[in-house]
Structure formats: C-alpha cells, structure tokens
Structure 1
C-alpha cells in the first residue's frame, strides 16, 4: 500500500492514477476528504488527515511501503502556508514514514533552496534537508512549473477579450512540464528501489511566459496583445499585502522571482526520458470542449 498525502491536487490526482493503473493499493490523505473522494474515484481509499497535526499520522502510514508527499502551502492563508505545511507538515510525514519503515518521496521544486527569497522555495529546501538527514529511506523529485497550472492561470486571466495577464516581462525561460509527466516520475520513485537516495529533476524545454501565452492564444483563436503586470508592481504588492493577505503576497513574490531569476529548468539529464507530453498535447486537452 502506498500513501499519497495531497492526493486531490493537480499533481496528486495524477500520482494516484499512475499508481492505481500499475495495480498498487493507494490511500489518500486529504484535509477535505469529500472533495478528494469526488476526484480520485471510489476504488481509492480516502482518509481525512492534516499533515500539520502529527497525531494519528503514524497509524495512517502503518503498513505502507511508501509515502508520497504532494502537499504544499503555497495558496494557504494564515496558519496554512509553506512554513506550516511544507516544513512542519513534511517533517511530520517524514517522521511517520521513518517510524514505520516506509520509503518517503518528497515532491519539491527546482528552485528549492534554504536561502531562497520565496517562502515556498525556501520551505521546500528546508523539507529536503530534514528528509535527507532524518534516517528515513528517501527520494526527492524536483520539478519545473506545471503546464496545466499556468495555462489555467493564463486562461482565467484572459477574460472575454482573450488577452492573458502575464506577471512581469514574461521573457525568462522556464522549464514548464506536464503534471502528468511529473506524476509518472513520482510514482516510479515510490515503487522502484533504483531511485532511492536520489534527487530526481524533471522539466521541459525552455519556454518563456510570453511564448506560453502566445501558444494558448493561437490554440483558442484569441487575438490582441497579452497584458502585463510590471515587476515593480509585483514587488510592491508582495511587500504591502503580506501582513493582511499572505497568500496573495506570496503569489506576487513567486511571480517576481520566476520573471527575474533563472530557475525552473533541470540541471541534469536524469529525468530527460520522463517527458512524454508536449505543450501541444497539454494544449489540446486544455482547449477541448
């Protein structure tokens, strides 16, 4: 049995699908069990659990061969952000996996670093460090930004005019990758001992946000120039809204980092063979009726 924490998210759902197709028994841990049941299907066991609270996690992991952490606090408000979810929550999962002799697979991000100015990237770096020093069996999977997520953001901001909003100049090359490809690598890391004690990196061909927006507009038949939020505005919003709207501030800070600093591209060819879905594939699915 494999435990997937965060199994109802964009990545988690794909991980669950990969594992069940391979014949694995899966238990999903989710804060909103009802929603998780509606998206992962009746054949998958769903248990209400909050990784921020360690009580009972050990029992939920008992008997598992592997624990996959696909949780994140990027969109969480006060008390549910990266510190609470990605640092403390992953530490709780790591402790439960170690205590039960289960392999721990941590889903991280390519810019993860304990000194990153972005709290999510910093929290992922801290989670990686805790895991690798915990004594638990481990694999870390770092990925570039998900194509599905950012195509959805561009679609939602385009409105009726079909003019997506790009946060920043949109000229920084990024390693956009399909969440389905990341999920396949995560599932392999949970089941194949050859991946243990390794940091796996996966990203797609370099693509700017401007190029991604252009591809979306052409696929949907939209015309008109995309709109841009200047980096100066992102920086201001990230600062002034932090005390009252931490999640909103977090989005702006991450967008600024993605727009101005290199990152989101794998530094090694380790996972190059894991790319199965192209931008065209993901676009076809995104724009289909």
Structure 2
C-alpha cells in the first residue's frame, strides 16, 4: 500500500495516476472539504484527514508500506488561502506526517523537496527552511528516506506564476536573468517520484533538472520567437527582491519565500543535470519544447 499526500495537486495527482497505471495499490490523504471524485474513479482509496491533524495521519498510515508526499501550502497561500500557512503545513504538518509514518512502521518515505537554495538568499526562505527541516527529521527516523530535489518547474517558473504572460506579451525577469537553470517538466518529476516509490534500490537523495540549461533572458527570447512577437520585459532589481524577502518573512512567508528563491536563482546557476531521470528510463522534456508548446500561435 502506497499513501500519497498531495494527491489532488498538479504533481501529486500525476504521481497517483502513474502508480495506478503500474498496478499499485494507492491510498490518498485528502482534506475533508476537497472533492476526491477523480481519485475514487481511479480506484484509489481515499482517507479524509489533514497534515495539521495528527490523529487523522495515524489512521492514514495504518498498513502502509510507502509514503509519498508532495503536499505543501505555498501555492494555496499565494492564492490568498488564509487557512493554510507554511508553518502549519510545511513545518508542523510534515513533522506530524513523519512521526506518524515512523511510528506505524512505514518502510519508505519519499519526500518532495527542492534543488539548491542551501546558501545565500534561498536558505532564508521560510518555505525552503521548512523543506530542510523535514529532510532532517526524516533522516533521524528508522525509515528509508528518499529526498527528491527537482529544479524549478517549467509549468510554474516559465508560465504566468513565474511572470510570463504570453497572451499579453509581457514578461517579468527577477534580477539580471543571466543565471542558467534546468527547468524540469512536472510530468517528468512525477514519473521519477513514482519510480522511486516502488524501485527496489533507491538513493537517499536525488537532485536533478531538465535536459536543457537556459537563462530567464534566453527563455523570454524563446517565448518571443515562439509567439512571433516582441514582449514587454520588466526586471525586478536584486535589492528589491532582497528587501521583500526580509520584510515579508513574518506577515507573508509564502511570498517572501518566492522573492528569496527568485533572488537565489538569479545569483546561483543550477548545478544539477537530468541524469537521474534518464537512469530511471525517463526521456525528459526540454524547456524550449515547453515554451514552443505553450507560446506557439493558434492555427
């Protein structure tokens, strides 16, 4: 039995579908008010609970061999959900889940973290600090911990959430935009997470990115070529990112995290590659292919 937390999200949902297609028995932890009809249609066992409710987690991990979690509060918090916070979910909630899984005798725990951000501005992002705290908690247990650290998602950082507005021909570049990153497709991350959940032998940490290193400035130029027109480009200066990441840390930790991660990414190019994906039999999608797909004019 594999328990997936975050199963109704973009990444977690894809992980679930891959596991089900592979014939695995899957249970999903779903919040009490969330519609789980799509999961139930796949034959997934749905357990109602919340990372902030330890009692519900004890029920969710009962009889489970492997836990996979992609759950976090970042996107919902940025969207204005005041019910969820980085501290409640990513710090305390993850700790509750790790404790429940360890006490239940779970064998393997696959945790979705983030690549880089271990120094400089990235390290002070509340979201990143929460990820690292969970990693440490996992390594202190008797479980087989697998920390998955992907580079930035193509569908997030090379999309509206990352400042790219194809429809209006506008782009926001954080900092100078000259640091190259290996933006990775969510589908490829899901494929690797599903693989690590069931593989016989797994590493304790996997850090990876997509097959193509590209800077934000190069990405904007690629969007312009694919869309067939010039974009209006605005740069957010590094000092603004730095000040925002500090000032917003307490009142808006999710937004402060984005600012800190953006600043870190502008000063620290990616150091990972796509080898872990290829070793798992996954042919990764390049960032330029993603850009052409989403920006090409309709015909």
Q: Provide TM-score, normalisation by structure 1.
A: 0.86
1:74–1:120 CA contact under 8 A, matched in 2: yes
Hey, what does 2:103 align to over in structure 1?
99
**Helix, strand or coil for the counterpart of 2:98?**
helix
**Helix, strand or coil for the counterpart of 2:53?**
coil
Instruction: Give matches, 1:50-61, under 5 Å.
Output: 50-61=50-61
* 1:84 equivalent among 85, 88, 91: 88
**Helix, strand or coil for the counterpart of 2:12?**
helix
Is 1:179 matched with 2:179?
no
Hey, what does 2:24 align to over in structure 1?
24
Deviations 1:116-172 (A, max 9, x none): 222222221111111011112221111101111122226865265302111221111
Instruction: Give matches, 1:257-276, under 5 Å.
Output: 257-262=264-269, 264-266=270-272, 269-273=275-279, 274-276=282-284
CA 1:73–1:58: 2 relative to 1, 3 Å:
same
Is 1:210 matched with 2:224?
no
Is 1:239 matched with 2:246?
yes
**Helix, strand or coil for the counterpart of 1:95?**
helix
Hey, what does 2:116 align to over in structure 1?
111
Deviations 1:225-249 (A, max 9, x none): 4221111222232233444433323
* Ranges in structure 1 where 5+ consecutive residues have no aligned partner: none
Distance in 1 between the 2:254 and 2:155 partners?
20
Instruction: Give matches, 1:149-168, under 5 Å.
Output: 149-153=156-160, 157-158=164-165, 160-168=167-175
CA 1:232–1:275: 2 relative to 1, 3 Å:
farther
Q: How many residues align?
A: 286
Distance in 1 between the 2:215 and 2:29 partners?
35
**Helix, strand or coil for the counterpart of 1:111?**
coil
1:166–1:229 CA contact under 8 A, matched in 2: yes
Hey, what does 2:237 align to over in structure 1?
230
Distance in 1 between the 2:291 and 2:182 partners?
16
Hey, what does 1:9 align to over in structure 2?
9
**Helix, strand or coil for the counterpart of 1:86?**
helix
CA 1:46–1:188: 2 relative to 1, 3 Å:
same
Distance in 1 between the 2:196 and 2:125 partners?
27
Distance in 2 between the 1:31 and 1:230 partners?
39
Distance in 2 between the 1:71 and 1:129 partners?
17
Distance in 1 between the 2:17 and 2:222 partners?
28
Distance in 1 between the 2:164 and 2:86 partners?
25
2:52–2:89 CA contact under 8 A, matched in 1: yes
Instruction: Give matches, 1:190-201, under 5 Å.
Output: 190-195=197-202, 198-201=204-207
**Helix, strand or coil for the counterpart of 2:74?**
coil
1:2–1:25 CA contact under 8 A, matched in 2: yes
* 2:285 equivalent among 264, 277, 284: 277
CA 1:251–1:32: 2 relative to 1, 3 Å:
farther
Distance in 1 between the 2:274 and 2:149 partners?
11
Distance in 2 between the 1:231 and 1:248 partners?
15
